Structure 1
Amino acid sequence: MGSDYSKDNCVHKPPMDERNLQGLKDYLINYNLPDGHEGYINILLYGMVAAGKTSIINTFFSALDPDGRTVTCVPTGMDPNSLTLELKTYKLAKLKFWDTAGWNAMLKSHVKPKELLRMILEGRIPIGTNLQNFKPTFPEEYPVIPGNAIHGVAFIFDMTTMDNISGNIMLRFQELQTIAAQICGHRVVIGTKFEKLGINEKNHAWIYEYKPLQQKFEQLSASTGLNKQCMFVVSNQWNGEHITMIKRILALYALENMIRNIDRSLKMTA
């Protein structure tokens, strides 16, 4: 595989075969909440503008498609409707993905990102709310909506631009991560656009052994306080009408990790 690869710091080794893909699909499609819990597993995708939050939802839907067909249920890229300003949800089996505005776009809005995140995590903001125009006088003005509390947060980072995030912005993010740790049951980091790190598609099966990716995980771990075992990569790019088996496995492997950890937390509180 060459000198760009190292197993020394490899944090994940998902089997890259059809059997593992089928197992991941079966678990996620057939998942049911533990006894005593109803509704959906609520997963918030949270990150900066253009990090790839919205397109990851399309990846999850595509990866779980029976035939691996690419599914575009959410506008992305150059689509004029792709900039997320409202709190939106997308349901898939017993999973509900929550999409929101890039948190750095909210720095000059009516409500601070920390206050906004806390309210979203607690399930206080109605679906469809325009977050840029959101002006709560105090959080208690918006009571908790049953079934809207977030169970897990996926912090999304563009792996090609994370080195350019300023120190001040990263400090603000650390504050957000602290709030999520106080309220939410499970948190992960998902890196996007790993294809642009210089790895050939034929080597995507060994992405977690790729040194440049390992180094970025080290940086993110130091910046966010999250263990590298909680860090994954998910592709939000593909060509043609089907998503490759490797990209399907990478996406579903990250998603399954979240669901299994959330499931354990729910069982402990049942």
Structure 2
Amino acid sequence: MGGVFFSQPWRNLPEDKQEDLAFVKNYQPRNKRAKYLRILLYGPVGAGKSSFINSVDSILQGRITWQAETDASSGSSFTRKYKTYKIHKGPDDYYSFVFNDTMGFENYANTGVLVGDVKLALKGHVEEGYKFSPSQKLMEGDKGYRSAPTLDDKVHVLVCVFPVGSVSLISEEVVKKLREVRRAASHMGIPELAILTNVDKACPKTNRNIKDAYKSQYLKQQVDAFSLLLDIPQDCIFLVKNYGSDGNMNDDNDALILSPLRQMITFGEDFLNDL
């Protein structure tokens, strides 16, 4: 897989990661009603949502971190509770954006996170620590339901996370769930983008030189296919290799992760300022 490469990249990354890194580190919402910009990650089981949070945290801390727990050995979602992940900027300070991870979507109607619960999360109705149930949607009056969400509680940008090597294998049931969440976000005016993970596993030649991710014809085909499936513009779909347990970090992979992160913040900031 992924043996043929274009002579020129079909998307350019910054030559130096420092500009994106400085943007991320210095970001502050201009809308003073929002203390944090909230980024919600959604997608199928095992897509790499928690790993992406850890990868961002690792870059900003300068070392491999494991704030969000992951489990690659399980066929079901490891994330069960709705949790906000803040990234430390100092001993008593945090960066001005946060992540929320969701239980993953699964192939069958009564497994994985319910679409209705993700819609409630978008609106800020899901409280911190709520345990997702594959069989029972959160309802008003239930424990874990926030009846009067503030702007800080609501989602400001939505990110679909999907393993790039599984694009051609995606089931109709998962596509249906992803599309339904997208429609809900669109009706609320919430901006959206996608990250396709595991580019190193899908394209071994890219793994040898991660800078070539956007030269791979195979990876370009997967981006095109995913764009058609979910009607997400191609320039809003990014390739990512999350950091794992090998403990090796490098500037080229940092740049691959920081590029979509900067776009998430930019989209979310525009949304906050349009309110």
TM over 0.5: yes
Match for residue 42 of structure 1? 38
Q: d(CA) in 1 for partners of 2:239 and 2:148?
A: 32
Match of 2:63 among 61, 66, 69: 69
Report what 1:13 is aligned to.
Answer: 12
Q: Percent of counterpart pairs with the same letter?
A: 23
The residue that corresponds to 2:98 in the other structure is: 96
Which residue pairs with 2:82 in the alignment?
Answer: 87
The answer (yes or no) to whether the contact 1:87–1:127 under 8 Å persists in 2 is: yes
Q: Distance in 1 between matches of 2:70 and 2:233?
A: 30
Give the SS at the match of 2:17: helix
Query: Aligned partners of 1:261 and 1:139: how far apart in 2?
Result: 33
> Is the CA contact 2:157–2:190 (under 8 Å) kept in the aligned structure 1?
yes
Alpha-carbon separation, structure 2, partners of 1:221 and 1:240: 31
Partner of 2:210: 204
Instruction: For 1:43, give the aligned amino acid.
Output: I
SS in structure 1 of the partner of residue 160 of structure 2 = strand
Q: Any unmatched runs of 5+ in structure 1?
A: none
Cα distance change, pair 104–35 in 1 and its aligned pair in 2 (3 A): same
Q: Verify the 8 A CA contact 1:221 1:228 in the aligned structure 2.
A: yes
Q: Structure 2 unaligned runs (5+)?
A: 88-94
CA 1:136–1:58 in 2, change beyond 3 Å: closer, same or farther? Answer: closer
Aligned twin of 1:54: 50
Q: Are the structure 2 counterparts of residues 47 and 144 from structure 1 closer, same or farther at C-alpha, using a change threshold of 3 Å?
A: farther
Alpha-carbon distance in structure 2 between the residues aligned to 1:227 and 1:248: 23
Contact kept in structure 2, 1:152 and 1:184, CA below 8 Å: no
Deviations 1:196-229, CA, capped at 9 Å, x for gaps: 1222434211211210011001111111011000
Per-residue CA distance 1:85-113 (angstroms, 9 max, x = gap): 1101111201110011002278316x983
Aligned equivalents of 1:57, 1:221: Cα separation in 2 = 23
Whether the 8 Å CA contact 2:156–2:271 is kept in 1: the answer is: no
Which of the numbers 22, 27, 51 marks the counterpart of 2:23? 27
CA 1:176–1:218 in 2, change beyond 3 Å: closer, same or farther? same
CA shift for structure 1 position 77: 2.6
Q: TM-score, normalising length from structure 2? A: 0.85
CA shift, 1:184, in A, is 4.6
AA of the residue aligned to 1:144? A
Q: Paired residue for 2:240?
A: 234
- SS of residue paired to 1:254: helix
- Residue deviations 1:90-137, cap 9 Å, x none? 11201110011002278316x983321210000001010001175434
CA distance in 1, matches of 2:194, 2:105: 15
- Of residues 45-54 and 158-167 in structure 1, the stretch that sits farther from structure 2 once superposed is 158-167
Q: Which residue of 1 aligns with 2:149?
A: 145
| Conservation of the 8 A alpha-carbon contact between 1:151 and 1:184 | no
Distance 1:215 1:143, change over 3 A: same
| Contact 1:5 1:211 survives alignment (8 Å) | yes
Which residue in 1 is equivalent to 2:115?
Answer: 114
Q: Higher mean Cα deviation, 189-198 or 135-144?
A: 135-144
**TM superposition shift of 1:9:** 7.9
User: Offset at 1:7?
Assistant: 6.1
Q: TM-score, normalised by structure 1?
A: 0.86
**Aligned match of 2:192:** 187
1:8 Cα deviation from its structure 2 partner:
7.6
